Structure 1
Amino acid sequence: MQILREHFVRQLTELQEDLVSMTHAAEKMLQMAVESLKERDVEKAREVIALDDVVDDYNFKIEEKCLRMIALQQPVAKDLRVIAAILKIITDVERIGDYSIDIAKFSIRLAENPIFRPFTEVPKMAEIVIHMLEETITAFLRRDLGIVQKVVDADAQVDALYRAIHEDVVQSIEADPKVARQAIWMLMIARYLERIGDHITNITERIYYMETGEMLELHQ
């Protein structure tokens, strides 16, 4: 029985390591997508798109491991909560990767012509969201609910910046309809960053569940 338990613990540790690696891969995609936007670097944007297979492979591998462990090991209590949480978290991480690709694609379009005006709030949003993701990885590794709350609080800043960008875009289009296409593209990028923030808060809710057994909506 002890040998079986040790084998299960080893599998569970490897599963969590795979999740951290998957999240780091998605974080790299997000960072590169934002850099491609700021630097007007089309090649870097294309690299982001190519990295999608890495995140997708992790997604399939982790899901398969989770289902196999549930079927063969029949975990209970906290062990089961960890596996169930990971099954949910990988979906959010995969979506973060997808939105990073969307940002990269718009970055390519925006690189074709000079931007009509800087949108300083977009880089601010990106900086906060990337930091949120980094903090979430730390919270998962340390099981630190204090960090979880900080991440949730940071998402409120992201939402406020998105609202400001939305209003700015509307005013820009009203003032000069010719800029509508670029303005809408910037708004879409801001929307993707806002959605990434939501997926990160979903992950923090799963971390909270792992540690407490309570399912709470932490971001009101």
Structure 2
Amino acid sequence: MARNTFERELTELAQEITSMGDAIDSRLLVTIEALRTLDLEKAKLVAQSDDQIDRQEHEIEKMCLKLIALQQPIAGDLRMIAACLKILTDMERVADQCADICDIVAGGDFNGNSLTLSHVVRMMEEARSMFRRAIDVFISRDMEEAKAICEYDDVVDAMFSKIILEVCDIITQNPHNVMCEVDMIFITKYIERTADHATNIAEWVIYMENGEHPDLNPKL
């Protein structure tokens, strides 16, 4: 009976993690739309609504700590709970990146017809896809897909490098509008970090399954 209760609580934990992932994925979609259309109201909505994700994170942390304290899990069960705590941190940071991006959009003065902006939006879409895939892998435990997510981070990194070069070229040609371009650099960095967090989640899922925590996409 005790084991049945424990397994049910582990299932509830996984469901809560997934629910939080879905909420953050929705936030990523709104962030993409705010960035694409420079919609200040949508940007402000995301920038000012981080408390909900924080509360969800704290509740799930309590669930994890309660399971450790009361059930004293070992082996695979302990790995799952430990990995969930790590995944939780990465997910919350993705929500933070959304808030940071939208805070810049809400206070910035961007050119909606900018080619660089369109490239940034595309990079954001790729990072969001990585995050969505990582949450799905948490559910499916598909190891090959988890590894593929980590490898795809190279694509986002290449986009990051290209955009940074574009922005630097714009600053060189038009040094009178430096602050706007600096804001674009910050946004691009936040997007790059979002992809890194998706990679981390995929790596922690691998750890949950086989006890190894690989660094499948090391930064040089």
Identity %: 37
Distance 1:113 1:129 in 2: 21
1:151 lines up with 2:149 in the alignment: yes
Distance 2:111 2:58 in 1: 40
Alignment match, 2:197: 199
User: Residue 41 of structure 1: which of 23, 39, 42 is its match?
Assistant: 39
Alpha-carbon deviation of 1:51?
A: 3.0
Alpha-carbon deviation of 1:50?
A: 3.5
- Provide the secondary structure at the position in 1 that maps to 2:115: coil
Alignment match, 2:87: 89
Distance 1:132 1:100 in 2: 15
> Partner amino acid for 1:161?
M
- Against the structure 1 CA distance between its residues 41 and 115, is the aligned structure 2 distance closer, same or farther, given a 3 Å change threshold? closer
Alignment match, 1:123: 121
Contact 1:162/1:194 (<8 A) preserved: yes
Alpha-carbon deviation of 1:147?
A: 1.1
Alpha-carbon deviation of 1:27?
A: 1.4
Deviates more, 1:169-178 or 1:45-54: 45-54
Aligned residues, how many?
Answer: 217
Alpha-carbon deviation of 1:215?
A: 1.6
- Provide the secondary structure at the position in 2 that maps to 1:218: coil
Alignment match, 2:56: 58
1:161 lines up with 2:168 in the alignment: no
Distance 1:18 1:66 in 2: 11
Alignment match, 1:9: 7
Q: How big is each residue's C-alpha offset from its partner over 1:20-53, in whole Å with a ceiling of 9 and x where there is no partner?
A: 1111111111211121111111111122124312
RMSD over aligned Cα atoms? 1.3
Contact 1:55/1:97 (<8 A) preserved: yes
Give the TM-score normalised by the residue count of structure 1. 0.94
> Partner amino acid for 1:212?
N
Distance 1:172 1:95 in 2: 30
Alignment match, 1:141: 139
User: Is there any run of 5+ residues in structure 1 with no aligned partner, and where?
Assistant: none
Distance 1:167 1:30 in 2: 25
Contact 2:37/2:112 (<8 A) preserved: no
- Provide the secondary structure at the position in 2 that maps to 1:207: helix
- Against the structure 1 CA distance between its residues 49 and 113, is the aligned structure 2 distance closer, same or farther, given a 3 Å change threshold? closer
Alpha-carbon deviation of 1:116?
A: 7.4
> Partner amino acid for 2:91?
V
Alignment match, 1:25: 23
Alpha-carbon deviation of 1:19?
A: 0.5
- Against the structure 1 CA distance between its residues 219 and 114, is the aligned structure 2 distance closer, same or farther, given a 3 Å change threshold? closer
Q: How big is each residue's C-alpha offset from its partner over 1:160-185, in whole Å with a ceiling of 9 and x where there is no partner?
A: 11111111111111111012111111
Q: How big is each residue's C-alpha offset from its partner over 1:123-167, in whole Å with a ceiling of 9 and x where there is no partner?
A: 221111111111111111010011111211221111111111111
Contact 2:151/2:216 (<8 A) preserved: no
